[in-house]
Amino acid sequence: MATDQHGRTINYLRVSLTDACNLRCVYCMPEHMTFRPGSALLQDDELLMLIGLFAELGFEKIRFTGGEPTLRRNLVELIRTTANTPGIKSVGLTTNGILLDYLARPLRDAGLDRVNVSLDTLDEARFRQITRWGNLRDVLAGIEAAERAGLRIKINAVPVHGFNDNGDAAELARLTLDRNWQVRFIEMMPLGGIAQFQQANVITEAQLRQRIDTALGPLAPENNGQLDGEARVYRLKGAKGTVGFISPVSNPFCAGCNRLRLLADGILRLCLLRENEVDLGKPLRAGWSRDRLSKLIRESVHQKPWGHGLADNSIALNRAMSEIGG
Ligand code: SAM
Ligand code: SF4
């Protein structure tokens, strides 16, 4: 079991498969973003070797993300091998859903359990504005395919002033009345590149909850108000699904953090919102033994910082969200 210097068990690895994306969401990256060449990314065998080492150290939950992970060649095979890695109990994917229509079934067959799909509005025009490039219909088809394939579904929405604050949150929350999905609202976080925009246009959990309450009635707390992962979860009266709020800024959850992030270029990010990183890719390519790499990972886990410093206006500027994967 891997523990950090604060006594937390760390057993959840988010793995970014690429920094590239087929959308350009306004809250995530600048429109003219440059991406790393393929040769700078971990290759499949390198990635799978590192995942195996994490699993040996007690990591049991893996979530693939990006950039857009469905752009990665061999995604289905990567998921199959990861799901069959001893010690791994759950494999998830966070995606914009654009390519999910044809990928959901093969991914499910390869061992994917759950999918988080980003969907910020049900209005076609506003969807285009917020993603700059996307078609809402593709994502809705992707979600339906995921449902048919039997994947557990969560919807991630990032509310942004001036883009999707026009009743969008209530319309998304309304989906939970008939669908057994968790619709989660993620408070926009400031990170490198566009932090000013992100801070100026954030919509807080309190504002959102008020809007949803007014439109759809009260949200009743689930799990006795305990966190589900990083989300505070509620249910509308009679709803099949739930509504979650992930509010790292106004309602931090660092005390229960159990995750690290392996970025596509082989960097291990110790906290989403801190610049602390350890390079695993270079030593791997320099031929370090499994034992030596494993020791480096264990030492890195130990160094995980307690939490972010947003309350002190300490913002991580070294990477955009699209490079880290959320
Ligand atoms: N492309 C995939 C997607 O959109 O789901 C995976 C990568 S994306 C970076 C992962 C998650 O981060 C998405 O749910 C996205 O909405 C969220 N995200 C991106 N920028 C964010 C920000 N500034 N604050 C909060 N969440 C953000
Ligand atoms: Fe791409 Fe996901 Fe970022 Fe949108 S949130 S630009 S889909 S990586």
**pLDDT above 90 (res 218):** yes
Which atom of ligand 1 is least distant from the CA of 116?
5
Ligand 1: does its nearest atom lie under 6 Å from the Cβ of 65? yes
Ligand 2: does its nearest atom lie under 6 Å from the Cβ of 29? yes
Give, for ligand 2, the residue of 130, 197, 321 to mutate: max count of ligand atoms closer than 8 Å to Cβ: 321
pLDDT of residue 192: 81
For residue 131, the ligand closest to its alpha carbon is 2
Per-residue pLDDT tens digits for 22-76? 999 999 998 889 999 999 999 999 999 999 999 999 999 999 999 999 999 999 9
Q: Pick the residue whose CA is nearest to atom 8 on ligand 2.
A: 67
Which atom of ligand 1 is least distant from the CA of 189?
24
**Distance between Cα 119 and ligand 1 center (Å):** 10
CA distance 200 to 146: 35
Which atom of ligand 2 is least distant from the CA of 24?
6
Give percent of the chain with pLDDT exceeding 90: 90
Per-residue pLDDT tens digits for 103-154? 999 999 999 999 999 999 999 999 999 999 999 999 999 999 999 999 999 9
**pLDDT above 90 (res 226):** no
CA atoms within 13 A on the CB side of 257: 23
**CATH (residue range 12-324):** 3.20.20.70
Most confident of 3-12, 221-230, 248-257: 3-12
Task: Judge whether 98 and 139 are in contact, CB under 8 Å.
Answer: yes
pLDDT of residue 201: 95
Q: Where are the beta strands (DSSP E) in 195-324?
A: 219-221, 227-228, 231-236, 242-246, 259-262, 267-269, 277-279
What's 63's DSSP letter? Answer: E
Give, for ligand 2, the residue of 22, 25, 186 to mutate: max count of ligand atoms closer than 8 Å to Cβ: 25
Mean pLDDT of 183-212: 93
CA distance 139 to 137: 5
Ligand 1: does its nearest atom lie under 6 Å from the Cβ of 185? no
**pLDDT above 90 (res 228):** no
Alpha helices by DSSP H, 84-204: 100-110, 124-131, 136-149, 168-178, 195-200
The model's pTM: 0.97
For residue 119, the ligand closest to its alpha carbon is 1
**pLDDT above 90 (res 312):** no
Ligand 2: does its nearest atom lie under 6 Å from the Cβ of 325? no
Q: Which residue has the tokens 């609202």?
A: 185
Ligand 2: does its nearest atom lie under 6 Å from the Cβ of 25? yes
Helix 44-56 / helix 75-83 crossing angle, nearest 10 deg: 20
